[in-house]
């Protein structure tokens, strides 16, 4: 089955700096890669996603890149703000053959220092 590895497990940056979180996946057939932000005790919230027919997607300060050949994808947050502090999870999914179930990475605890 699919396995998703996420690094780093913790990341501390100064406000205004960029943050990068990386994930690798094992199943080359996976075709959907969402990123979720989870604050303590709350639901995961989708912040951006990318499908396998696209190499890069951007939404304001957040961008995701996908390298299908290498089977890795990354989250980039620019101009970080203290409210970006949270745990971020990547995930991989095989939409059509497995009903869309998500396999999550281990999570990255991002701390943005003012």
Partner 1 sequence: GAVVSQHPSRVICKSGTSVKIECRSLDFQATTMFWYRQFPKQSLMLMATSNEGSKATYEQGVEKDKFLINHASLTLSTLTVTSAHPEDSSFYICSAILGVGSNQPQHFGDGTRLSIL
Interface residues with partner 1 (CB under 8 A) are 32, 34, 36, 41-46, 49, 51, 89, 95-96, 99-107
CB of 67 to partner 1, least distance (A): 21
Q: Which residues pair with 38 in a beta bridge?
A: 87
Is there a contact between 41 and 23 (Cβ–Cβ < 8 Å)?
Answer: no
CB of 68 to partner 1, least distance (A): 18
Q: What length does the chain have?
A: 114
* Smaller CB separation from partner 1, 73 or 89: 89
* Smaller CB separation from partner 1, 82 or 95: 95
Is there a contact between 33 and 64 (Cβ–Cβ < 8 Å)?
Answer: yes
């Amino acid at each position: 089955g699919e396995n998703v590895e996420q690094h780093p497990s913790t990341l501390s940056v100064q406000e205004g700096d960029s943050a990068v979180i990386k994930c690798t996946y094992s199943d080359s057939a996976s075709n959907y890669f969402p990123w979720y932000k989870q604050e303590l005790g709350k639901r995961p919230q989708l912040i951006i996603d990318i499908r396998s027919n696209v190499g890069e997607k951007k939404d304001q300060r957040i961008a995701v890149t996908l390298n299908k050949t290498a089977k890795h994808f990354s989250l980039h947050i620019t101009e970080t703000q203290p409210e970006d502090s949270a745990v971020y999870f990547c995930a991989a999914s095989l939409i059509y053959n497995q009903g869309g179930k998500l396999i999550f990475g281990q999570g990255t605890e991002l701390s943005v220092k003012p």
